[in-house]
């Protein structure tokens, strides 16, 4: 079955950086666009970014453009999100998802907390 497992979250100070990872299994990873979405505590969903199956195309929400970078390694069945210059408002659960438009399946998420 499809599995997506995020890791790399944690407590980070404002201005810091993190690299989130998402390990995929149960499907042909290299066939699919992959996306990242976040959800602040008690709030709704915010789409962040997608990357095409071959890494040629990426797209970002304006709120994270220039600070976040999505990448993938098809040999490792993994997608990544590099997040820099973190702010308090970046505190959220970060989900990776299969798909680049509608999101077919989601991981359980990894919590990023930005606080001094």
Partner 1 sequence: EIVLTQSPGTLSLSPGERATLSCRASQSVSSSYLAWYQQKPGQPPRLLIYGASSRATGIPDRFSGSGSGTDFTLIISRLEPEDFAVYYCQQYGSSPYTFGQGTKLEIK
Q: Which residues contact partner 1 by CB under 8 A?
A: 44-47, 59-62, 95, 101-109
The nearer residue to partner 1, 16 or 52, going by C-beta atoms, is 52
Backbone phi and psi for residue 39, each to the nearest 5 degrees, phi listed first:
-145, 110
List the beta bridge partners of residue 47.
37
Paired strand residues for 37: 47, 95
State in angstroms the smallest separation of the CB of 75 from partner 1.
26
CB of 8 to partner 1, least distance (A): 17
State the nearest-atom distance from the C-beta of 5 to partner 1, in Å: 12
Nearer to partner 1, 16 or 39 (CB): 39
| Residue 13 CB, nearest approach to partner 1 (Å) | 27
Closer by beta carbon to partner 1, 23 or else 61: 61
Pairing of strands 3-7, 68-73: unpaired
**Which CB, 83 or 103, lies closer to partner 1?**
103
- Find, among 5, 26, 1, the residue nearest to 109 by Cα: 5
Q: What is the DSSP string of 27-72?
A: S-GGGS-EEEEEE-TTS-EEEEEEE-TTSS-EEE-TTTBTTEEEEE
């Amino acid at each position: 079955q499809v599995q997506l497992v995020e890791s790399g979250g944690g407590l980070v100070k404002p201005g810091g950086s993190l690299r989130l990872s998402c390990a995929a299994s149960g499907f042909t990873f290299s066939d699919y666009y992959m996306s990242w979405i976040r959800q602040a505590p008690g709030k709704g969903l915010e789409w962040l970014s997608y990357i095409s199956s071959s890494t040629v195309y990426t797209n970002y929400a304006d709120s994270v453009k220039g600070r976040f970078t999505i990448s993938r390694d098809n040999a490792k069945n993994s997608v990544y999100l590099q997040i820099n210059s973190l702010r308090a408002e970046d505190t959220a659960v970060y989900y990776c998802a299969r798909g680049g438009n509608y999101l077919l399946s989601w991981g359980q998420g990894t919590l990023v907390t930005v606080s001094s």
